[in-house]
């Protein structure tokens, strides 16, 4: 419930072959990289930015911006995920180890952030 002019900040997972590989496969199924319980993400929960913007619009929210959110180097994310799986680091230590960056001019391939305003 937002007042008119209120801001909703969100992050989401895009529905792409790469996001399915990462979230549905590596993060939930592969023993070496499984860091989430099975079923936390399902194919039905993945949304393209256009689908999310349309859903926000149906609820009186105007999408203002979408920004790709990714690891600077995917190898860092793999190393962090394996270290987390082995209990060497905590969830909080994954982002700095993976070196996540915002890529505002890039098309979101896996995860993206955005915000919307209540009309």
Cα–Cα distance measured from residue 89 to residue 94, given in angstroms and rounded to the nearest whole number: 7
pLDDT digits (tens, 9 = 90+) for 4-60: 999 999 999 999 999 999 999 999 999 999 999 999 999 999 999 999 999 999 999
pLDDT class of 119 with cuts at 50, 70, 90: confident
pLDDT digits (tens, 9 = 90+) for 85-101: 999 999 999 999 999 99
Q: Helix or strand or coil: residue 11? A: strand
How high is the pLDDT of residue 41? 94
Give yes or no for residue 1 having a pLDDT over 90: no
């Amino acid at each position: 419930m937002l007042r008119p002019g209120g801001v909703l900040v969100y992050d989401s997972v895009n529905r792409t072959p790469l996001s399915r590989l990462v979230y549905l496969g590596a993060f939930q199924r592969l023993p070496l990289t499984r860091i989430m319980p099975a079923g936390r993400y399902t194919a039905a929960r993945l949304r393209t930015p256009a689908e999310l913007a349309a859903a926000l619009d149906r609820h009186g929210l105007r999408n203002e911006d979408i920004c790709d959110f990714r690891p600077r180097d995917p190898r860092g994310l793999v190393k962090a995920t394996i270290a987390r799986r082995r209990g060497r680091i905590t969830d909080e230590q994954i982002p700095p180890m993976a070196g996540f960056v915002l890529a505002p001019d890039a098309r979101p391939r896996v995860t993206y952030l955005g915000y919307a305003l209540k009309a």
